[in-house]
């Protein structure tokens, strides 16, 4: 239960609306009790009075009371639903923002071990489940407690012993039933939460991998896995539904037994009355109506296991400490960039073998450097360390200042990064470009597209063209060039490019490399590649192998060494 405390603290921000919702719920329940009790007494008293009571019995006042209680009940129920759901949605929005702000500093190291679908499920479905904490637990509990106290106090004016008997029975049920159904429903709730996450993760993989599943004829096998998970999920839902039915059956049975007991105890008279007459209806219909307040309590704690499991899944993510922290203020941005890397070692968290070993690299301002090597030698990892995706052992200095001394905004301002996988957002072409430079005009956006030979994207709707999720209508080469267009719009002194010409034909590759050399004159450029084209025009070439820089120098120097670079050229 302690896992819920941080989320309960978030409710304080909306305590006024939440409190008003609880008050309205209490008013609604009391109006229901008043309606049924007064109606029962009115019918019983009318029957006793008979025809003779037409002149002696006041029919108008009780009838007005019944109508007033009905109006209060209807209006209170509507207002309670309106206020409670408004408050819950506000809490939910706050909870999502809170969770998201906790997740963002973890990226990418802290969330790398989670699959995207699983992380999304925790952020959406598990956070949504936490809204049950108010609607199904807090509000019903407080409302039931207040109703029990009010009913006991009200009936005590007629007979203290009968009032205390009813209050004790209801209080005992309110204390015992939640505990019973909490422990009965906890394993089911945890299993439901786990199965829901597993099913959505598998379903997301199935949808994303449709092409491969069709090509290799694996649809049936994959679908069978989904069906099995869904079958277990439905079984648990059925068990939870049966438990809910049992909870309601126990409440109804207890209500019936309590009404019978109260009728038996009141039959011999109560208070100063030896002949209770029509007033006995008060002790029959009051418990019958009051048990309405206990109905949600048992079911609430049955779902508490699911709420707790969701809270644990969310907390597993947000309670992690960021692997990388940035100072709020740090070194100032400059219009040039020098890099000094000394004794750099890095091993991915949880992995046994190092990826980078004793990297030493000095890059002067305006120098163009190529990192050359086979796949898996650590080139992309080195680029990620320069952006502080992770921190490593050793020293990385930008303009003679440790990388850790820069605020994140300053670091992003000084770097233009084009990664291997360029993400295209489900938005217009204009918005996909403006993320790199929010203040750029349409003319500047068009110029950047034309520079990377993407003028064909402007046909039709132009910058208003909708690119869709992941830019599905774009080829891999077009997506990469769109990433380069973003880079052209982001004016930074340090360029970090990871395989920028991968997937491009030879002519387009020559055009892009020429554009980069021209655009990056006076800028520092680090280019990761395994292709040999145009490397002779780079100021420095670093050959990487098994996490080390084994050779570095310009084209002529490396060719004269007749080492690994020269062998690459011969094989190429």
User: Could you check whether 2-318 and 339-571 share the same CATH topology?
Assistant: no
User: Which pLDDT score is estimated for 345?
Assistant: 93
pLDDT band at 305 (very low <50, low <70, confident <90, very high): confident
Residue appearing with tokens 């007629």: 158
C-beta of residue 422 within 8 angstroms of C-beta of residue 381:
no
- The whole-number average pLDDT for the span 445-466 is 88
Contacts of residue 232, defined as CB under 8 A and 6 or more positions apart, other chains included, come to 191, 195
Q: Helix crossing, 160-208 with 295-318: angle to 10°?
A: 40
Count of CB atoms within 10 A of residue 241's CB? 10
- The whole-number average pLDDT for the span 91-95 is 84
Dihedral sign of CA atoms 328, 496, 528, 558 in order:
negative
pLDDT at 51 over 70: no
- Tell me how far apart the alpha carbons of residues 171 and 220 are, in angstroms, rounded to a whole number: 54
pLDDT band at 169 (very low <50, low <70, confident <90, very high): very high
- Tell me how far apart the alpha carbons of residues 465 and 460 are, in angstroms, rounded to a whole number: 8
Token pair in block for residue 362: 């000095």
CA 331 to chain centre: 34
Longest dimension (CA), the chain: 125
User: Which pLDDT score is estimated for 61?
Assistant: 78
Question: Average pLDDT of the chain?
Answer: 85
pLDDT at 211 over 90: no
pLDDT band at 300 (very low <50, low <70, confident <90, very high): confident
User: Which pLDDT score is estimated for 164?
Assistant: 92
Which phi-psi region, left, alpha or beta, contains residue 499 (left: φ > 0; alpha: ψ -120 to 50)? left
The β-bridge relationship of strands 548-553 and 401-402 is: unpaired
pLDDT at 337 over 80: yes
Based on its alpha-carbon atoms, the radius of gyration of the chain, rounded to whole angstroms, reads: 35
User: Which pLDDT score is estimated for 34?
Assistant: 86
Three-class secondary structure assignment of 421-450: CCCCCCCEHHHHHHCCCCCCCHHHHHHHHH
- The whole-number average pLDDT for the span 368-377 is 88
- Tell me how far apart the alpha carbons of residues 229 and 252 are, in angstroms, rounded to a whole number: 35
Q: pLDDT tens for residues 320-330?
A: 888 888 888 88
CATH of domain 339-571: 3.40.50.300
Beta bridge partners of 368: 525
How is the chain split into domains, by residue range? Answer: 2-318, 339-571
Of the chain, the end-to-end C-alpha distance in Å amounts to 63
Count of CB atoms within 10 A of residue 113's CB? 11
Contacts of residue 448, defined as CB under 8 A and 6 or more positions apart, other chains included, come to 433, 440, 485, 486, 488, 489
- The whole-number average pLDDT for the span 218-235 is 89
Q: Which CATH class is domain 2-318?
A: mainly alpha
- Tell me how far apart the alpha carbons of residues 252 and 248 are, in angstroms, rounded to a whole number: 6
């Amino acid at each position: 239960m302690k896992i819920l405390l941080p989320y309960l603290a978030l409710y304080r921000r909306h305590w006024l609306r939440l409190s008003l919702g609880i008050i309205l719920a209490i008013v609604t329940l009391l109006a229901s009790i008043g309606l049924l009790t007064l109606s029962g007494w009115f019918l019983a008293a009318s029957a006793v009075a008979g025809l003779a009571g037409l002149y002696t019995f006041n029919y108008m006042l009780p009838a007005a009371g019944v109508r007033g209680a009905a109006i209060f009940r209807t209006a209170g129920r509507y207002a309670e639903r309106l206020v409670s759901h408004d408050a819950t949605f506000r809490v939910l929005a706050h909870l999502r923002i809170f969770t998201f702000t906790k997740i963002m500093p973890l990226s990418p190291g802290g969330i790398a071990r989670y699959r995207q679908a699983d992380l999304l499920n925790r952020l959406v479905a598990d956070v949504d489940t936490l809204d049950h904490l108010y609607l199904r637990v807090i509000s019903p509990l407080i409302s039931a407690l207040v109703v029990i106290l009010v009913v006991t106090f009200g009936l005590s004016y007629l007979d203290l012993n009968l009032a205390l008997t009813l209050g004790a029975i209801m209080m005992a049920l309110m204390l015992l039933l939640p505990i019973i159904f909490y422990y009965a429903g906890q394993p089911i709730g945890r299993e439901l939460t786990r199965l829901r996450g597993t099913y959505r993760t598998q379903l997301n993989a199935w949808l994303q991998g449709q092409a491969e599943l069709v090509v290799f004829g694996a649809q049936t096998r994959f679908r069978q896995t989904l069906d099995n998970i869904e079958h277990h999920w439905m079984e648990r839902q059925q068990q939870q539904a049966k438990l809910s039915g049992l909870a309601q059956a126990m409440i109804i049975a207890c209500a019936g037994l309590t009404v019978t007991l109260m009728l038996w105890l009141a039959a011999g008279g109560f208070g100063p009355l030896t002949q209770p007459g029509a007033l006995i209806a008060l002790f029959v219909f009051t418990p019958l109506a009051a048990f309405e307040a206990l109905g949600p309590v048992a079911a609430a704690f049955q779902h508490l296991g699911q709420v707790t499991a969701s809270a644990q899944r969310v907390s597993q993510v947000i309670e992690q400490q960021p692997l990388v922290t940035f100072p709020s203020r740090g070194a100032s941005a400059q219009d040039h960039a020098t890099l000094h890397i000394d004794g750099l070692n890095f091993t991915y968290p949880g992995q046994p073998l190092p990826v980078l070993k004793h990297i030493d690299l000095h890059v002067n301002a305006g120098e163009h450097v190529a990192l050359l090597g086979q796949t898996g030698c650590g080139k992309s990892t080195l680029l990620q360390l320069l952006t502080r995706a992770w921190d490593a052992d050793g020293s990385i200095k930008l303009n003679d200042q440790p990388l850790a001394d820069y605020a994140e905004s300053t670091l992003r301002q000084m770097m233009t990064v084009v990664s291997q996988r360029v993400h295209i957002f489900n938005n217009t072409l204009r918005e996909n470009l403006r993320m790199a430079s929010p203040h750029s005009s349409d003319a500047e956006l068009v110029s950047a597209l034309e520079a990377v030979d993407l003028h064909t994207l402007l046909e039709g709707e132009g910058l208003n063209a909708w690119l869709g999720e992941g830019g599905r209508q774009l080829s891999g080469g077009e997506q990469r060039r769109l990433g380069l267009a973003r880079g052209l719009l982001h004016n930074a002194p340090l360029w970090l490019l990871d395989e920028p010409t991968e997937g491009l034909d030879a002519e387009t590759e020559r055009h892009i490399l020429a554009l980069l050399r021209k655009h990056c004159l006076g800028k520092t450029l680090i280019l990761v590649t395994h292709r040999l084209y145009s490397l002779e025009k780079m100021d420095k070439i670093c050959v990487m192998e098994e996490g080390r820089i084994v050779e570095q120098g310009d084209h002529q120097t490396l060719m004269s060494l007749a080492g690994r670079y020269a062998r690459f050229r011969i094989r190429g």
